[in-house]
């Protein structure tokens, strides 16, 4: 009797699939940011444009990774990297420059908590 072997293709998880599974959905309103997953570490590299999360001014173009959560949860966030010593990037449009990164817990634009390193 002849033997028949079947080979199933090996499915390698893409970076986008890994990001979605571990952290959630990346949001890049200005389409100039990079989301990188290395093991259990997520790095978001912002592009050169202005990236604001100023809910009170209705400007929501910061890069985010969103994941819907129900019930109790715990979260560990580490923000690392260098922030400029002096504000660079002031323009005619904006006289103040803010650098920040952290955790956003969001219900809607009127109900949220921001915990940031700034």
Query: Who contacts 1 (Cβ-Cβ below 8 Å, separation ≥6)?
Result: none
- Entry pTM: 0.71
User: According to the model, what pLDDT value does residue 55 have?
Assistant: 77
Task: Give the separation between CA 117 and CA 74, rounded to whole angstroms.
Answer: 19
pLDDT in tens, 7-33: 666 677 888 888 899 899 999 999 999
Average pLDDT, integer, range 114-118: 85
Task: Give the separation between CA 87 and CA 89, rounded to whole angstroms.
Answer: 7
Task: Give the separation between CA 86 and CA 43, rounded to whole angstroms.
Answer: 23
CB 104, CB 64: distance < 8 Å:
yes
User: According to the model, what pLDDT value does residue 79 have?
Assistant: 84
pLDDT in tens, 51-98: 888 877 778 888 999 998 889 988 888 888 777 766 555 555 656 677
Average pLDDT, integer, range 88-115: 76
Task: Give the separation between CA 63 and CA 3, rounded to whole angstroms.
Answer: 54
**In sequence order, what DSSP letters do the residues of 50-76 get, joined into one string?**
---EEGGGTEE-S-EEE----S-----
User: According to the model, what pLDDT value does residue 58 have?
Assistant: 79
Torsion of CA 47, 74, 106, 84, to 10 degrees: -30
């Amino acid at each position: 009797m002849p033997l028949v072997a079947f080979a199933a293709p090996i499915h390698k998880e893409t970076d986008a699939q890994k990001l979605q599974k571990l952290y959630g959905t990346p949001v890049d309103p200005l389409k100039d940011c990079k989301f990188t997953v290395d093991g259990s570490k997520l790095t978001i590299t912002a592009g050169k444009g202005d990236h604001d999360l100023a809910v009170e001014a209705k400007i929501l173009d910061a890069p985010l990774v969103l994941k819907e959560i129900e019930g109790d949860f715990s979260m560990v966030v580490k923000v690392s990297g260098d922030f400029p010593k002096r504000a660079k990037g002031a323009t005619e449009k904006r006289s103040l420059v803010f650098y920040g990164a952290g955790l956003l817990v969001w219900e809607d634009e009127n109900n949220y908590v921001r915990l940031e390193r700034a």
